[in-house]
Structure formats: C-alpha cells, structure tokens
Amino acid sequence: MTQQFAKLQAPHARHRFTRKPNLDDVKAAGHDMLRLVNRRILLSILSDRQPISRADIAKISGLNKATISTITSELLKDSCIIEEGSGRTTPIGGKPPTPLRLNSKRFGLFGVDIRSDETILALSDFNNRIVARNSFDTGADAGAFLNKIGKEIRKLRSKHESFIEFPGIGVSLPGLVDNHSGKFLLSVVLPWRDVPVVQLLEKATSLPVTIDNSARCSALAEIWHGKAQYAHVRNLLYVSVSTGLACGVVIDGGLYRGGNNSAGQFGHIPIDFNGPECRCGQRGCWDLYASDKATLKRYADIRGNGGKRVSTMRKLVELVEAGDAAATEAVRETARYLGVGITGLINGLDPEVVVIGGEITKAWGLIEPIIAEETKRNLLAPRSHSIAIRPSAFEVRPSLKGALTLVQNSLLSVPHMG
C-alpha cells in the first residue's frame, strides 16, 4: 500500500467518503478532473483569504509546493490571479513571499434579482464588489421584461469593457423554479407562468444563464459570503420571511435542490390541521402564521375595525420601533411561530447555522429572544455546541447577493466526482 493510499484509508479520513457514486453520470477522477478541482480549491482559498502566499496556500490545501507552483503559474497566465507588490526585498536582502490575489477584472458577474415589485440588475467583479447596479419596475409581461433586462445587460457589457470575460448571469426568482428546464414555474406574488427564463435571457444576451428561487439563492450566498464565523459551516438553513415563507438548505457545502428541484418549500408544512385553508390546498401551513402576509393580517386583526392599516412589513417594523403595542404583539406572535417551525427544521436537518432573512429581522432585538426560547425548549438531540440563529447581514438584498453567487458558484465550486 502506498503511503498516500494508506493515508486516505486512515480512520479519521473515512467520514469523508460517504457518497454513493452516481453511475448514471460517472465522472471518474481523471487527470483533468483532478487539475480542475485543485485549481478551484486554490481560487476558493484565494477568494476567502487573500492576499495569501504560496506557502500559506500549501499549508491550507495540503498540496505540495511543486503542484501549487504549477497551478499558480497557470492561473497567472490565465490572468485569474495577480502577484501583489512583487520586487520588494526584506531588510536582510532576501525576497519576501509574494502574496497572491484574485484579479478582480478577470470576470464580470451579472446578477438579476427579480421580485414582484422591483428587479435589480447588478454587475460585480471577481472579488464580489458591485460595480454597477440598476433597478426596474418588474413587468407583468415576462417576455417583454426579460428582453428589456437583456438589453440592459448588453449595455453594461459595452460600458465595462475592462473585464476580460463575462461568464454568465445568475437570476433569483420569487417562486417555484425548475433548474433543469430553466423555467420559472409559478409564484403567488408574480403573474408569470411557465416562463423559459434561461432560454429568453440567453437569446437576448448570448451569455449562459443560471436560475434559482430567491430563498435558495440566499442560502447559497450565506454559505459563500456569510459572516466570517460561517467559514467552517457546512450545513445551513436559510429561512426567507417575505410575502410567503420559503427556505434554502445547504448540505455539506452544496445547495440541496431535491429530486424534482422543488426542495425548500417548508412553508407548506401544516402546523395546525384545524387551521385556515392554504392556497396549496392543505390546512394550517406554517406560511399562514409566520409570513409577512400573516403578520400584517394579525396586526390588522388586533387593531380591529377602523384601526390603522399597514401594507408593508417595513412600515410595521417602524411602528414596532416607535413603541406601537399592537405592532409589537403582532411581530412577537410571528416570532413564536417562526421559532416553532425552525425548531422542527433543526430537529430534522441539524444545521450548524440558521439564517433568517426579510424585513422582520430589522426587529431582531424583539424576535431573537422569542425564537431562541422556543428552540431551546423543544430541541430533541443533545448538542455539543449551540446552533447559531442569525439575521442575514449583507449590505445588499440577500437574493441579489445570491443571484451573483450563482455565477461565482459555477466558477469556484468543486464537482462531485464519481
């Protein structure tokens, strides 16, 4: 047995080998595949830890220095990375290690975040810095609207010619999405049905397009770009609290999409069989108690006839901040229901981190203790460390960050081998 093979068979390494090979789509670990995987691991290390020397990359990756030297030479030649401050000398005359960085101009990534009311189009560089951003009123005619977005993307491309390559467009959509057919299926907030988003946008831009729903996009953004303390997180649950309630699940660093591409619709798990009828045909779905729509309705019910109407969650949170008792009670009750559902999901999925997104997180000081109390009371398994429940904390909308991450994911993620 070679030393390397023996190392892979060691007991501590066994937990890494858990996947059944996919015999319908075999990708055996040939030389090219290994090269691709190592290249992407290096780019991911750089993206996360830059500036970083070759020696430090070797320490993190476990690759030997010769392999790192070969890959970094290729990446330099491809203009994917740059050497920082080369040519300096140390006080004793030696050459210091040259730190490496991603070349921000190598790739320009397009992200389109489509919501019922507003769509945001953004262009970011390879270092995830947004360099252009436009917003539009989302049109009811999907074909005409996507054509318009395509035209705007073409305009941005010619305005930002300094990018070497535009590898694609990521699109976040507010409803059910089929990644295989590239279609947006349906939504309760947008009157689009069976729209071939990928086909339409690819035709309009001649760029590859990837789509997913907004909760799953947001989950992907959190695992790639969430707070520093998520760096070691492999399993994450994202709960998007908006007009409806949807979730994104990351398992072992990858987005879980399920057999029919519809994973994450936990908002339609009934929590009360005697509850009101849901649009999905069941009764008492979680969505009916914890979505923004539910919270706004609860507030209206508490205020009663003649009470002040509030149409957006943002306004309701402002009322909470102003000390409005009815608004506070409505949001507190939603927090309890969020806690009930999240506890069930933690029991079922065992994530290391739960991230909550949506306007309601602006009232984090009010909702966090209630959610924490609920989860603490009802968790089943004993835990070696507590589960972090956090609000999403991006400077931009998580779903926009997620749309951009769809493209970045296609450049940096490692394939399943086997």
Residues that bind Zn ion (CB under 5 A): 268, 278, 280, 282, 285
Residue 58 is which amino acid? A
Q: How many distinct helices (H) and strands (E) make up the chain?
A: 13, 14
Q: Which among 269, 186, 175, 168 is positioned nearest to 215, based on CA atoms? A: 175
Shortest separation between residue 284's beta carbon and Zn ion, angstroms: 8
Of 133 and 268, CB closest to Zn ion:
268
Of 268 and 293, CB closest to Zn ion:
268
DSSP character string of 271-335: S-TTSPBPTTS-BSBTHHHHSHHHHHHHHHHHH-TTPPP---HHHHHHHHHTT-HHHHHHHHHHH
Shortest separation between residue 292's beta carbon and Zn ion, angstroms: 15
10 Å Cβ neighbour count for 114?
29
Cα separation, 315 vs 318, in Å, equals 5
User: CA neighbours within 13 Å on the CB side: how many for 165?
Assistant: 13
Of 265 and 405, CB closest to Zn ion:
265
Of 162 and 262, CB closest to Zn ion:
262
CA-to-CA separations, 3 to 8, 34, 35, 321, in angstroms, rounded:
9, 19, 21, 63
Shortest separation between residue 278's beta carbon and Zn ion, angstroms: 3
Shortest separation between residue 245's beta carbon and Zn ion, angstroms: 9
Are 45 and 60 in contact by the 8 Å Cβ rule? The answer is yes
Helix%, strand%, coil% for the chain, nearest 5: 45, 20, 35
Of 285 and 317, CB closest to Zn ion:
285
Shortest separation between residue 391's beta carbon and Zn ion, angstroms: 25
Of 236 and 290, CB closest to Zn ion:
290
Shortest separation between residue 285's beta carbon and Zn ion, angstroms: 3
Shortest separation between residue 28's beta carbon and Zn ion, angstroms: 43
Of 278 and 349, CB closest to Zn ion:
278
Angle at CA of residue 131, ends 129 and 135, nearest 5°: 115
